[in-house]
Amino acid sequence: MTTAACFIIASRNDIPIYEAEVGSAAKREDAAQLPQFILQAALDIVQDLARTTSAMILKTIDKFNDLVVSVHVTDDHILNISKPIHFLHFIIHARFMLLHDSRSDDGIKSFFQEVHELYIKSLLNPLYLPGSRITSSHFDTKVSALARKYL
Amino acid sequence: MEPDVSIETSCMIRIAVLPIGKVPPPLLRDYHSMLLPHHTIPLSTISSFYTEHQKSPFAHQPWDTGSLQFKFLLGGSPPSPWEDFQPYRKFLSVIGICHCPSSPDLDHVIDQFNAACKIYTSALVLRCFAFCPGDSQLDDGKKRENLVLFPPADRTMQEFHLHTMMQDIAASLLMEFEKWVLQAESSGTLLKTPLDSQATLSSEEVIKAKKRRLARAQKTIGDYCLLAGSPVDANAHYTTALELARLTADYFWYAGALEGSVCAILVDQIGQKDTGVEDEVRYRYNNVITHYRKSFIQDNVQRVSPITFELEATLKLARFLCRRKLIKEVVELLTNAADGAKSLIDANDRLIVYVEIARLFGTLGYQRKAAFFSRQVAQLYLQQENRFAATSAMQVLGMTTKAYRVQSRASIAKHSISNETEPGHADSGKLHHLLVVSLFESQWSTLHMVVLREILLSAVRAGDPLAAWSAAARLLRSYYPLITPAGQNGLASALKSAAERLPSGTRCADPALPFIRYMYLLIVNHEETVDSHFLNTPVCKKVDIIFYECRVYSFPLHPSQMDIVKRNPAREDWWAGSAPSGPFIYTPFSKGEPTKNGKQDLVWIVGEPVQVFVELANPCGFDLKVDNIYLSVQSGNFDAFPLSVDLPTNSSEVIMLSGIPTSVGRVEIPGCTVHCFGVITEHLFRDVHNLLLGAAQGLVLSDPFRCCGSPRLKNVSVPNISVIPPLPLLVSHVVGGDGAIVLYEGEIRDVWINLANAGTTAVEQAHISLSGKNQDSVISIGYEKLKSALPLKPGAEVTIPLTLKAWQLGLGESDTAAGKGASGSIGRTVKDGCCPSLLVHYAGSFGDARDLEKNKTSVPPGRRLIVPLQICVLQGLSFVKARLLSMEIPAYVGKGPSNPANVDGNPSNKAVGYGSKIERLVKIDPFRGSWGLRFLELEMSNPTDMVFEVSVSVLEKPSNEDNVSVDYAAEYGYPKTRIDREYFSRVLIPLEHFKLPFLDDSFFSKDLQLDESTSGKNSSLSERNTKSELNASIKSLVSRIKVRWQSGQNSCGELNITDAIRVALQSSIMDILLPDPLTFSFRLARNVSKNAANLDSPKESSINIQPSMSNSSVIEHDMTPMEVLVRNNTKETIKMNLSVTCRDVAGQNCVEGTKATVLWAGVLSGITIEVPPLEESKHSFFLYFLVPGEYTMVAAAVIDDANDVLRARAKCESPDEPIFCRGPPFHVRVIGTA
């Protein structure tokens, strides 16, 4: 099992709608917010990359010290089932950003896929306002379980 | 490592710029900035200074296009150990800057300069520039080496001189380079780097080093060629060097030569960056990086490492490629650089790498990345425990605030605020939304807080209290919900301690607490005038309380309304049609989307205090003391009064800020100026407005007002306010105290209202009108008094009389009033909204007549003063019961009424007898022919604690038929009825007969309908008609009867008896109102010629009754001729069967029977007569009385073929029932002859 530091789902406006500390990264008091800072800064790169590539999983797009950022970009055309597309576009365009300190590509890929499923499920919840913070504790426990399983 | 490196750095000649002697820092900067433009000296311009001593080694020197590049380093720096490797690191020249006025001794200057140059051993050219020399210094003809005096001249001239001197330096340097290269080519030099082993060289290594020497020399010569501006020569040497270095596996120098060659390519191809060159550069630099990495030697990793060169090369390449198109490549390079930075030994090197990375990311437009690395830089600075590092950290963090959205207002102000205020509220919506998101984006709040905290920390360390204050204020204001109360307290104390180190009166662009929200803006401050719309909202309850407090404690407010009314000069009633501009932003009267544009115009008046309500909120866990708060007005024509407020933990408070407009124009109130935590800050309403907007959309952490328990309110924006010249101002008070006027029901009282002009201009026009409920309670207003007092000068006053009559209390009101009276408390509460108000519209002069013609809108507006009449009506006498008392007194046949004075409608006889009082009350019933007494008996109770005295007066009215137009009143001397407190009493009111002149068809048709369809739909209609008839009669009756009461010394009033009469008459409307169909009367036939019928039909009422005693007496044993008169009161002929009876005092029929005492001749019964409509017919007969005494004669008739009208009148149940009419009894007194 690798030690991952931080997992964030950022919405279209680059606003984090879900944050979780996964894995067992050693935490230092002075750098408690470092993972968030790294992920926030990495959004600049994700923004450009997501525009140019069609790949969903962007591996190791950024790194700082020993921490590596991997990103899963949800695609716009995945879920145009029942709702108007532009609306969907606004809703589901999210970035799953994982900050981890070593590479186990398969595990990360599976992790992203499973979290994506979870995310879509929570999107389908009529009480969830797209773009707002995900506060479901169920989601939280599921993500932690997935993190334990794959990372 | 060095900051700010690029590929071209290799061709720059480094020059140290040193201050010599005392040079004031601003001047030093100024002189340095004069040097800076001369960083490039074209070779073509230095030819005049250049002399070729030997053959130049730079064979391909481009004299036409080439140039020398200078890099000026102010203050210089210690020499680098890598100078041999890269000659551009050497300081090849030193320029001293001397400010002559501060260092008069030039010799001393030279000494100082020489001493300063000592450490720059590599310097080839030394110059000391002395600016602004005095005359003595100029005249001093002594020639000093390297000292250049710049004669005082203007700046252009000096720059020209400087340019010349720089060309001289360039030429000298070029010659020195040539010398050096020639020397190096011939003799060769030993070139070393720290990488080379310092230990004693083994023999093998010595051989190796010798081999390498040539390569290194070639490389260095190439470097000098580059510095001399000859890239072609440089390239040639580099090619050789590369060959040699590769052979000797001197990777480090190989990489250096490669770097130089790239620079040579770029210098050679200056201005033409095609893709070929770019690819070449990229290829070669990647090579450079690889070779620097190869040169890594494990041995001396602790001491020195080529990694800095690798990173430098990476950054150079990144800088070269730094374009949007190649962003991916650059990002990769920068990421690698950042990765490499962690293996750097020197923290300073790492700092430089991060600075460079941040700069390059910033250039790429990756603001967040740039901010991230800036923050890393700041952290490195913070690790150095000194003040200057902390200042640097603070400055670097200051640069990140934009990316982290925690900017100081001061830095935003420069760019955005100015153009942001322009669009106003018209294009809100999206703009607002974005603004809100950008200003209050809560989502990365933890990061924002960390950054702000670091700024605070660095500012504290750097000893910058203002920056510390600003950071703490931003932290507290934006992120208070995420900070624990303890943390909030810590911030508060940080604010305080920062403020202690600041001079008092310091201003800061970033507001701290409290949150201030604009509420309402009132020109008026009176409870009654607060619009009911506002009173319904909970806040206004609060406002009300504030009103009260203000009134009691701080402000002597005018208890009057000062509405401004637009004046229409074309109309006499200029106030009509213009709704008062009013004190309210929202009025229910202007329902047409009052908030559509969000703003309404307000008018303030010069010199009159105004009040603005704002709500303050302190959502934090400490008590907030606002030392001073006042409206901040940018237009400068407003004097604001400061206020100090204490806000406890988690509380909000509505306060009233006031001020006085001082001059005509517009007033802008963007917010409040607050003096809190020792610093003056500007709190803009707009910010809180946006914050609340964000809170409503769920974008912001929390609404500070709601978490303080303040109700959610619609956001109001500050209206447009304009100030107009002074207007008159009327202030009113009721003479005798402004308390409620206490009146009993129906009480009439005079009240005086005093109007004073408290303004500074005269009142020229004034008009009084009434508004509100119970307007009819104001009986008269002294308009004339007001009119005659105009113009009312400033300070003048006028007293206007009013006559009030208290209205009747409603059912519920009287109950409560009675209840209050019973419980002993004084029921003097003025009920809201039931009192009338006086509206005084007044205005000053019209102003200049010419202005008026030009521009109608320039008419100064008028104003409206509302004087609420606070009338408190107490319950007075109350009716218990009312009923009609009537009594019939039979008339005497042949005799006039005992007192004819009271015959209705006969004024001439009034004066005849003024007998007993009771007789005057007896009145003849014209339809029955009998006399009667009629009273309205009112039973009244007195629930009050006062004694009432009731007096009745009747206004006698001559009947209309007489056409006597003279009204006159007769005061009956009725004794006053006294009603003690809590007693009941009865008052008798004499009533007159009131009947319709005849049994009207139309009336009966109504009545018929009533009968025919007893429960039909028309019944209500006919009932209504009947009622209206009754009401009309009652009205005419009541108008003549005045029932006055008096209580105590000064309370008097009138009872409203209309209702009482109505109640009394309700049961027998028809009998009272409608005449009988037939009227019977008797008379003696012998004096018929003289004594006309005493029937007093309306048509015949002019006939006077002339009593004649001689003819009218009836004597026993005498044949008495008599007539019975039957009058038809209907409009149709009536056929009837008439009969007459005579009874004695015992009631026995004395005409018929065996013991008849009256003999008769003629027909007494079964007489068939037909009476035409509205006429009368008579039937004569004779009576012979045997016994003297009193007899009663009664006529009765059975109507044949009665029509429906008669049936209805008689209230027949079946159509077959005979209709029987009976007249009133007539008395006959038979006088005995014996």
B325 DSSP 8-state letter: G
**Interface test mutation site (partner A, options B334, B350, B368, B441, max chain A beta carbons within 10 A):** B368
**Interface test mutation site (partner B, options A64, A67, A101, max chain B beta carbons within 10 A):** A64
Could you check whether the bond before residue B791 is cis, i.e. omega within 30 degrees of 0? Answer: yes
Arithmetic mean of pLDDT, B677-688: 79
pLDDT at res. B732 = 76
Residues of A with Cβ-Cβ distance to B698 under 8 angstroms: 132
- The answer to whether A140 contacts chain B (CB < 8 Å) is no
Q: Which residues contact B302 (CB under 8 A, 6 or more apart)?
A: B345
Contact between B446 and A41 using a beta-carbon 8 Å cutoff: no
Arithmetic mean of pLDDT, B200-222: 72
- The answer to whether B369 contacts chain A (CB < 8 Å) is yes
Helices B367-383 and B347-364: angle between axes, nearest 10 degrees = 160
B327 closest CB neighbour out of A37, A41, A48: A48
pLDDT at res. B709 = 63
Residues B623-670 pLDDT 10s? 888 888 888 777 777 787 888 888 888 877 777 777 888 877 777 777
Dihedral sign for Cα B442, B446, B450, B451, please.
Answer: negative
Arithmetic mean of pLDDT, B938-965: 64
Please state, in angstroms and rounded to a whole number, the distance separating the CA atoms of residues B402 and B512: 19
- The answer to whether A33 contacts chain B (CB < 8 Å) is yes
Residues of A with Cβ-Cβ distance to B444 under 8 angstroms: 15-16, 36, 40
Helices B25-35 and B155-186: angle between axes, nearest 10 degrees = 60
Is the pLDDT reported for residue B528 higher than 50? no
Determine contact, residues B387/B461, Cβ cutoff 8 Å: yes
Arithmetic mean of pLDDT, B989-1011: 53
Please state, in angstroms and rounded to a whole number, the distance separating the CA atoms of residues B350 and B150: 42
H or E element in which residue B349 lies: helix B347-364
* % pLDDT > 70, chain B: 68
Which single residue is written with the structure tokens 């990489």?
B255
Q: How sure is the predictor about A89, in pLDDT bands with cuts at 50, 70 and 90?
A: very low
The C-alpha of B382 sits at a distance from chain A's nearest C-alpha, in angstroms, of 12
B434: nearest CA in chain A?
Answer: A13
Fill in the amino acid letter for B374: S
Arithmetic mean of pLDDT, B1142-1155: 78
The C-alpha of B393 sits at a distance from chain A's nearest C-alpha, in angstroms, of 16
Is the pLDDT reported for residue B435 higher than 50? no
Arithmetic mean of pLDDT, B849-862: 56
Is the pLDDT reported for residue B904 higher than 50? no
Is the pLDDT reported for residue B700 higher than 80? no
- The answer to whether B698 contacts chain A (CB < 8 Å) is yes
pLDDT at res. B1101 = 36
Is the pLDDT reported for residue B1147 higher than 50? yes
- The answer to whether B375 contacts chain A (CB < 8 Å) is yes
Arithmetic mean of pLDDT, B201-208: 63
- The answer to whether A21 contacts chain B (CB < 8 Å) is no
Contact between A33 and B328 using a beta-carbon 8 Å cutoff: no
Q: How sure is the predictor about B1114, in pLDDT bands with cuts at 50, 70 and 90?
A: confident
Please state, in angstroms and rounded to a whole number, the distance separating the CA atoms of residues B11 and B225: 9
B400: nearest CA in chain A?
Answer: A41
Phi/psi at B310 (nearest 5 deg)? -60, -45
Q: How sure is the predictor about B932, in pLDDT bands with cuts at 50, 70 and 90?
A: low
Is the pLDDT reported for residue B256 higher than 50? yes
Quote the pTM value: 0.62
Q: How sure is the predictor about B536, in pLDDT bands with cuts at 50, 70 and 90?
A: very low
**Interface test mutation site (partner A, options B336, B379, B437, B444, max chain A beta carbons within 10 A):** B444
pLDDT at res. B286 = 83
B370: nearest CA in chain A?
Answer: A41
Identify the residue with better confidence: B436 or A5. A5
Determine contact, residues B386/B347, Cβ cutoff 8 Å: no
Q: How sure is the predictor about A36, in pLDDT bands with cuts at 50, 70 and 90?
A: confident
Determine contact, residues B399/B374, Cβ cutoff 8 Å: yes
Q: How many residues does chain A have?
A: 151
Arithmetic mean of pLDDT, A125-131: 74
Identify the top-confidence range among A117-121, B247-251, B1108-1112.
A117-121
Determine contact, residues A46/A61, Cβ cutoff 8 Å: yes
Contact between A41 and B368 using a beta-carbon 8 Å cutoff: yes
Phi/psi at B182 (nearest 5 deg)? -60, -40
What single string gives the DSSP state of each residue in B1127-1169?
Answer: EE-SSS-EEEEEEEEEEETT--B-SSSTT--EEEES--SSEEE
pLDDT at res. B599 = 46
Q: What angle do CA B356, B358, B362 make, to 5 degrees?
A: 115
B336: nearest CA in chain A?
Answer: A63
| Ranges A59-73, B166-180, B1003-1017: which has the least confidence | B1003-1017
H or E element in which residue B1210 lies: helix B1204-1210
Q: Which residues contact B779 (CB under 8 A, 6 or more apart)?
A: B748, B803, B804, B805
The C-alpha of B518 sits at a distance from chain A's nearest C-alpha, in angstroms, of 30
Q: What is the ipTM of this complex?
A: 0.84
The third-level CATH classification (topology) of the domain covering B730-740+748-804+838-872 is Immunoglobulin-like (2.60.40)
Is the pLDDT reported for residue B852 higher than 60? no
How many other C-beta atoms are found inside a 10 Å radius of the C-beta of residue B136?
10
| Ranges A26-30, B730-734, B871-875, B1217-1221: which has the least confidence | A26-30
Helices B485-500 and B465-479: angle between axes, nearest 10 degrees = 150
Q: How sure is the predictor about B430, in pLDDT bands with cuts at 50, 70 and 90?
A: very low
- The answer to whether A55 contacts chain B (CB < 8 Å) is no
Domains by residue range for chain A, with CATH: 4-150 (3.30.450.70)
Identify the residue with better confidence: B722 or B828. B722
Determine contact, residues A11/A17, Cβ cutoff 8 Å: yes
Please state, in angstroms and rounded to a whole number, the distance separating the CA atoms of residues B220 and B253: 10
Residues B118-152 pLDDT 10s? 888 888 888 888 888 777 777 766 667 778 888 77
- How many Å from the N-terminal Cα to the C-terminal Cα in chain B? 167
Residues B960-970 pLDDT 10s? 443 333 333 34
Please choose, from the candidates A48, A65, A68, the residue with its C-alpha nearest in 3D space to the C-alpha of residue B365. A48
Is the pLDDT reported for residue B843 higher than 70? yes
B890 DSSP 8-state letter: P
Determine contact, residues A10/A43, Cβ cutoff 8 Å: yes
Q: How many residues does chain B have?
A: 1234
B449: nearest CA in chain A?
Answer: A33
Q: How sure is the predictor about B1074, in pLDDT bands with cuts at 50, 70 and 90?
A: low
Q: Which residues contact B180 (CB under 8 A, 6 or more apart)?
A: B124, B224
pLDDT at res. B129 = 85
H or E element in which residue B1082 lies: strand B1078-1084
pLDDT at res. B848 = 53
Contact between B335 and A62 using a beta-carbon 8 Å cutoff: yes
Please state, in angstroms and rounded to a whole number, the distance separating the CA atoms of residues B1048 and B294: 122
Please choose, from the candidates B136, B129, B89, B92, the residue with its C-alpha nearest in 3D space to the C-alpha of residue B113. B129
Contact between B331 and A45 using a beta-carbon 8 Å cutoff: yes
Contact between A48 and B328 using a beta-carbon 8 Å cutoff: yes
Residues of A with Cβ-Cβ distance to B369 under 8 angstroms: 41-42, 44-45
Q: Residue B732: is it exposed, middle or buried by C-beta count within 10 angstroms (0-12/13-18/19+)?
A: buried
The C-alpha of A107 sits at a distance from chain B's nearest C-alpha, in angstroms, of 24
Q: Are strands B1189-1200 and B1226-1231 parallel, antiparallel or unpaired?
A: antiparallel
Fill in the amino acid letter for A41: A
The B671-676 sheet, strands edge to edge: B507-508, B679-684, B671-676, B624-632, B643-647
pLDDT at res. B822 = 38
pLDDT at res. B263 = 82
Question: Is B237 in a helix, a strand, or coil?
Answer: helix
Instruction: Decide which of 3.20.20.140, 2.40.30.10, 3.20.20.210, 2.60.40.10 is the CATH code for B1076-1231.
Output: 2.60.40.10
Tokens of B992: 């007159």
Return contacts of B1159-1167, CB within 8 angstroms, 24+ apart. B1159/B1183, B1159/B1184, B1159/B1186, B1160/B1184, B1161/B1119, B1164/B1139, B1164/B1140, B1165/B1139, B1165/B1140, B1165/B1141, B1166/B1137, B1166/B1139, B1167/B1137, B1167/B1138, B1167/B1139, B1167/B1140
State chain B's mean pLDDT as an integer: 71
Residues B328-347 pLDDT 10s? 777 888 787 777 777 777 77
pLDDT at res. B567 = 63
